[in-house]
């Protein structure tokens, strides 16, 4: 495993569309492992492959406080979305800023995991926000282009935002239905 460098806006690659993964081989598994390591090292809750310079439709998310609930998302599709919610978002590729974005309240996604097994997952709360934010990365869209308001954020503000999210996030639904 290796730590990868996170690309920072306005790096052009962040605006490019990622391509589907054709075969999940050892190289892809290594990439996923590197993405998880990089996400944990940078204290992100999500990281898309494009953010480390790889234009493949892969992202990882971990909403837990202690890095024990990694979700690997390859070639995702949104099957269903409903409602709206407005949340504060931030992005490792857009440092020292946060912004208010409206997203669906619930999304159901279909994707492959790192073993190539297809699953569906119904997400609400901040997990739904994170899924939409990361999916946007795969299409070259950064959240600031969707934000109604952007704010400068100090390290203190960042910790406060994370604490608020943790409090709000209790009870968030991630019902995973895996099938082969």
Closest CA to 58 of 141, 144, 142, 135: 135
Closest CA to 130 of 179, 157, 165, 170: 165
Closest approach of Ni ion to the CB of residue 80, in Å: 23
Tell me which residues in 63-92 interact with Ni ion (CB under 5 A). Answer: 91
3-class secondary structure, 47: strand
Rg of the chain over Cα atoms, rounded to whole angstroms, equals 15
Closest approach of Ni ion to the CB of residue 14, in Å: 9
Q: Output DSSP code: residue 138.
A: H
Closest approach of Ni ion to the CB of residue 112, in Å: 21
Residues 86-125 as x/- pattern, contact with Ni ion by CB under 5 A: -----x----------------------------------
Indicate whether 132 belongs to the interface with Ni ion (CB under 5 A).
no
Q: Which residues bind Ni ion (CB under 5 A)?
A: 91
């Amino acid at each position: 495993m290796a730590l990868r460098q996170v690309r920072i806006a306005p790096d052009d690659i962040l605006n490019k569309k990622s391509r589907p993964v054709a075969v999940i081989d050892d190289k892809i598994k290594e990439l996923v492992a590197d993405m998880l390591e990089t996400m944990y090292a940078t204290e992100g809750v999500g990281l898309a492959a494009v953010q480390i310079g790889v234009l493949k439709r892969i992202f990882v998310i971990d909403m837990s406080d202690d890095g024990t609930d990694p979700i690997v998302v390859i070639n995702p599709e949104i099957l269903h979305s409903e409602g709206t919610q407005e949340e504060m978002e931030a992005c490792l590729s857009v440092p020292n800023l946060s912004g208010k974005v409206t997203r669906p309240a619930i999304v159901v996604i279909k994707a492959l995991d790192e073993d190539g097994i297809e699953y569906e997952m119904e997400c609400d709360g901040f997990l739904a926000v994170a899924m939409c934010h990361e999916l946007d990365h795969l299409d070259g869209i950064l959240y600031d282009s969707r934000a109604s308001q952007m704010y400068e954020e100090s390290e203190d503000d960042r910790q406060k935002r994370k604490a608020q999210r943790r409090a709000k996030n209790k009870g968030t639904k991630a019902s995973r239905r895996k099938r082969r």
